Amino acid sequence: MTEPEPTRRDPEAPKGRPTPKRSESESQRREIARMPANRREAAKRDREAKRRAMNRQREALASGDERYLPARDKGRVRRFVRDFVDSRWSVAEFFLPIAICILAMSLVPSMQVRNISLLLWLFVIVMIMLDSISTSVRLRKALRARFEDEPTKGATRYALMRTLQMRRMRLPKPQVDRGDEI
C-alpha cells in the first residue's frame, strides 16, 4: 500500500501572515533556548504566566474587552444578554438588601413582626419568580429576532444569574445605562 503524499503548499501562494523581522525571530529563538534550569524555576515561570493571564482577564472583566474574557462571557449573544439585563431594573438584584432587612425583622421578639417578615419572604420570592419568568420570555423573543442562526443555548440562565447580582457587583461591568435601548 502506498501512503498518500502530503499536500504541499504552492510556493507562489501567500502564507497568510507577514514574515517576522529578523530581530523578532532571533529573540524567539533565544527565549526557547533559555529554558529553565530546574523544576523550581519552571514552576516560577508558570506561576508568573498564569498571574499575567489572570490579571489580563480581570482587566477585561472590568473593561468588557472581548479578547480576554472567560469563555462563558464571550460572544455576540452573551454581549447582547448582558446589555439586555443591564438596561433594565429587576427585583432579583435587590434580593440581598431586602433579605438582610427581612432577616433583621425576623430577629425582633414580637410575633407580629415575625409573621410580617414571613409574608415578606413569600412576597419577595414570588416577585423574583414573576420577574424572572417575564425576563426570560422577553429575552428569548429578542434572541430569536436577533440571532436566528446562532446558538443561544444557556443564554437565559446566564441572564437570570446576572439579574441576581447587584449592578455594581456584576462582572463584566455593565456597558449600558438603565433605560438605554439595545
Annotated domain spans of the chain? 34-67, 75-169
Grid cell 443591564 is found at 86
Residue by residue, pLDDT tens for the chain (182 residues) are: 555 666 666 666 667 778 888 888 888 777 766 677 788 988 888 899 899 989 988 888 888 788 888 888 989 999 999 999 999 999 999 999 999 999 999 999 999 999 999 999 999 999 999 999 999 999 999 999 999 988 999 999 999 999 999 999 998 999 999 989 88
Dihedral over Cα of 109, 112, 113, 118: its sign: positive
Contact (Cβ atoms closer than 8 angstroms) between residue 181 and residue 88: no
What's the first-to-final CA gap in the chain, in angstroms?
A: 61
Q: At what angle do helices 111-146 and 76-86 cross, to 10 degrees?
A: 140
Question: What ranges in the chain are assigned the alpha helix state H?
Answer: 22-33, 39-63, 76-86, 95-106, 111-146, 155-163
| Distance between CA atoms of residues 158 and 96, nearest Å | 19
| Distance between CA atoms of residues 107 and 114, nearest Å | 7
Contact (Cβ atoms closer than 8 angstroms) between residue 162 and residue 85: yes
Does the global pTM surpass 0.85? no
**What is each CA distance from 167 to 31, 82, 178, in whole angstroms?**
44, 11, 10
